[in-house]
Amino acid sequence: MLQDLPLTPPNASTFATQVDALYLFLVILSAIATVGIFSAVIYLSIRYRRRPGVLPGAIEGSLRLELLWSFIPGVIALGIFAWGAKIYFFAVQPPKERMEFYVSGKQWMWKVQHPTGQREINAMHVPLGKAIRCTMTSEDVLHSYWIPAFRIKKDVVPGRYSELWFEPTRVGEYHLFCAEYCGTGHSKMIGTVYVMEPEEYQRWLSGNTGDPPEVAGAKLFENLRCNTCHAAGTGQRGPVLDGIFGHMQPLKDGGQVLVNEDYVRESVLKPLAKVVQGFEPVMPTYEGQIGEEEIMQLVAYIKSLKPAAPAAGGGK
């Protein structure tokens, strides 16, 4: 009977053990503090109760006691902060060896695209023991991507990108929820994460086809005629995009901007917001012409571009 009423969701990721240990410590600490305080209240109420004919004496403060009850909770609070900070930094720094997934929230579904191009709705198939990084955005309102068994949750915000990563440690099926009220169908915005053995995952991939995001992005880049301005040797009405992702770009107003997912998205939808130094504000907006999934494909394509190789025998 108790097996059907677990106190916590399954422990199925590298985060889960660390998060559970911290929460268990907080629960035990809170229980000890609660029992201690109530025990002290009961004892002191009896020990120093008012007695007939006895006048209470003056009570002087104790500097040693005051320092003690300030120092011990202070050390415990700093320890909890350091412990939580360690888990947080682990949670926001995905390993270099990872699989890149793209997630889009929409009333009321989760749309997922695999690095090899396969697409799913309200489901995500992932291999066991592989780090998975999800780049996420919303097509309408605020959502929150939550997998309780992995102890991860991240807001998915319209107009910007957020990310999370996890590494599953147990094969199985795990619930996926939206943890932010997003409308009348909020409770239906659920799905399943399927953790599979690597060989089984490869078999699943072979039965599903689709262009990888960077390939789909390359096709879209050509269909939108972006290559007429952003490819080398095309008149240079816009900056060459080869190898610029992750680097600082000088702007016409004298500032600089980091070329990341948010900057690429802004440049597609609001190209006049940040004009690159040496170029005129002539790029048209694609707002209303392409959706969030297409923008993420363009981002994946630009991320895949490598710096152009120097010409053989070229100068400095």
Residue 135's pLDDT is 92
Contact 270, 192 (CB under 8 A): no
* 213-304, CATH topology level: Cytochrome Bc1 Complex; Chain D, domain 2 (1.10.760)
CB-count burial class (<10 Å; 0-12, 13-18, 19+) for 35: exposed
pLDDT over 90 for what percent of the chain? 44
- Integer Cα distance of 33 and 11 in angstroms: 28
- Integer Cα distance of 309 and 265 in angstroms: 27
Candidates 2.60.40.420, 2.40.10.330, 1.10.3720.10, 3.40.50.300; CATH matching 1-43+70-210: 2.60.40.420
Mean pLDDT by 10 residues, the chain (316 residues): 64 90 94 94 87 76 86 93 94 90 92 89 93 92 94 91 93 94 92 94 80 83 82 71 86 86 87 84 83 84 76 44
What are the residue boundaries of the structural domains of the chain, listed by start? 1-43+70-210, 213-304
Enter the pTM of the model: 0.74
Strands 190-196 and 123-127: parallel
- pLDDT of 86-109, one tens digit each? 999 999 899 989 999 999 999 999
- pLDDT of 167-203, one tens digit each? 999 999 999 999 999 999 999 999 999 999 999 998 8
